[in-house]
């Protein structure tokens, strides 16, 4: 039985695999996360993991200022939309929109959220928002200001493995109390870029079709309607091999192949693969910067000092939160910020050198 009652996803997978054969890892991860997010609010110290907007209001505020700066420099179009993908508790949207409002930016608010449990939380945090299942129903006129923090990492990855017989899809089967990966029967060589095909046996090639499709679609909107986008996530900006799939529950890393649907499954975002996808649609890739450097460029240190001066009793906590967001051994280096803008939109703060 799962925590929410009803049949566990592990039991459903076992039955499915027994009747129709192994399922792909992508299917496994997609269903596990759909179940996981639908049934709970996983964020915060009482949940499974903590994200940047939940660490400090400074994170969302600086994003709001970045968006306002872009919008002002682009000519302050009146019809403009804030679009957030996977808004969690709505904390980032609330902080960003409050900061943006001080500069005259008051966009219509569109939240793309699959989880009904989290929608209920967002309803209270972000009054006046409209909800969407995906990007297709976002208004088609007026610039879009798109934000996605720790959204792409939750989308299911596909993994291909090099076997003595060539590349195969990684499939999932039960093994005692847990699940394991095995190589599928179909040849998958054409799905691996030619430059990587000669890799040694056992090499895993991971890709995220959902992340690619999301960036493709957002870039299309930027090109057509104007606007800018920030994708923030943990990941790499140089291509790499190997599985980055991991599971987190109650702030601890756990086995992704035990109790699917009961832990948050994520994979590193391959930013190196995403920038060219955006560029292929004629959109400007402003850069992919480490989160720590980007937040420092936007003035997080001055903001922390100002907040600490206004509330000295919170000074220690404010500085600790800032260090968590920008510290090299914390979120500062592993997390990246990728900025995109419509071709005729201006610069973009924070993306130096």
Q: CB of residue 266 vs ligand SAH: minimum separation in angstroms? A: 9
Question: Which tokens go with 239?
Answer: 């291509």
Strand positions, DSSP E, 221-283:
227-236, 246-249, 252-254, 264-266, 269-270
Between 121 and 183, CB nearer to ligand SAH: 121
Question: Which tokens go with 219?
Answer: 């870039």
Between 14 and 132, CB nearer to ligand SAH: 132
Q: Which of 246, 263, 275 is nearest to 336 (CA)?
A: 275
Q: CB of residue 308 vs ligand SAH: minimum separation in angstroms? A: 24
Q: CB of residue 323 vs ligand SAH: minimum separation in angstroms? A: 19
Q: CB of residue 325 vs ligand SAH: minimum separation in angstroms? A: 12
Q: Which of 226, 234, 75, 76 is nearest to 154 (CA)?
A: 234
Q: CB of residue 86 vs ligand SAH: minimum separation in angstroms? A: 2
Between 63 and 283, CB nearer to ligand SAH: 63
Q: CB of residue 229 vs ligand SAH: minimum separation in angstroms? A: 14
Residue whose C-beta lies closest to ligand SAH: 86
Q: CB of residue 186 vs ligand SAH: minimum separation in angstroms? A: 26
Between 250 and 306, CB nearer to ligand SAH: 250
Between 33 and 259, CB nearer to ligand SAH: 33
From the number of C-beta atoms within 10 Å of its C-beta (0-12, 13-18, 19+), residue 276 rates as exposed
Between 118 and 229, CB nearer to ligand SAH: 118
Q: CB of residue 235 vs ligand SAH: minimum separation in angstroms? A: 14
Residue with tokens 């930027």: 222
Contact residues for ligand SAH, defined by CB under 6 A? 33, 37, 43, 51, 53-54, 86-88, 92, 112-115, 118, 149-151, 154
Rounded CA separation 189/212 (Å): 20
Between 2 and 115, CB nearer to ligand SAH: 115
Residue 226 CB: number of other CB atoms within 10 A?
Answer: 21
Question: Which tokens go with 48?
Answer: 């499974």
36 phi and psi angles, rounded to 5 deg = -60, -55
Between 33 and 288, CB nearer to ligand SAH: 33
From the number of C-beta atoms within 10 Å of its C-beta (0-12, 13-18, 19+), residue 28 rates as buried
Q: What angle do CA 234, 345, 295 make, to 5 degrees?
A: 35
Half-sphere exposure of 215 (CA within 13 A, CB side): 29
């Amino acid at each position: 039985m799962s925590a929410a009652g009803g049949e566990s996803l592990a039991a459903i997978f076992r039955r499915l695999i027994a009747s129709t054969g192994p399922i792909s890892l992508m299917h496994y991860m997609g269903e596990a996360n759909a179940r996981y997010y639908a049934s709970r609010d996983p964020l915060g110290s009482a949940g499974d993991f903590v994200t940047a907007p939940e660490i400090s209001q400074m994170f969302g505020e600086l994003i709001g200022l970045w968006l306002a700066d872009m919008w002002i420099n682009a000519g302050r179009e009146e019809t403009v939309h804030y679009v957030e993908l996977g808004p969690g508790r709505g904390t980032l949207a609330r902080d960003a929109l409050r900061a943006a409002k001080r500069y005259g930016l008051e966009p219509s608010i569109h939240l793309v959220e699959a989880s009904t449990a989290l929608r209920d939380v967002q309803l209270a945090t972000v009054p006046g928002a409209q909800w969407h299942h995906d990007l297709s129903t976002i208004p088609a006129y007026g610039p879009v200001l798109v934000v996605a923090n720790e959204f792409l990492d939750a989308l299911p990855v596909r993994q291909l493995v090099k076997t003595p017989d060539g590349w195969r899809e990684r499939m999932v089967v039960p093994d005692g109390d847990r699940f394991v990966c095995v190589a599928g029967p179909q040849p998958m060589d054409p799905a691996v870029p030619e430059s990587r095909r000669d890799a040694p046996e056992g090499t895993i090639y991971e890709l995220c079709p959902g992340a690619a499709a999301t960036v493709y679609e957002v870039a299309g909107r930027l090109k057509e309607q104007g606007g800018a986008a920030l994708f923030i996530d943990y990941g790499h900006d140089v291509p790499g091999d190997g599985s980055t799939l991991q599971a987190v529950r109650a702030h601890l890393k756990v086995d992704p192949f035990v109790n699917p649907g009961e832990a948050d499954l994520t994979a590193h975002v391959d930013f190196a693969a995403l920038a060219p996808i955006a560029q292929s649609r004629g959109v400007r890739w402003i850069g992919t910067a480490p989160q720590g450097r980007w937040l420092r460029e936007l003035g997080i240190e001055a903001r922390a000092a100002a907040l600490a001066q206004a509330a000295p009793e919170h000074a220690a906590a404010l500085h600790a939160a800032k260090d968590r967001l920008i510290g090299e051994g914390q979120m500062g280096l592993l997390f990246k910020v990728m900025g995109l803008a419509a071709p005729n939109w201006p610069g973009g703060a924070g993306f130096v050198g």
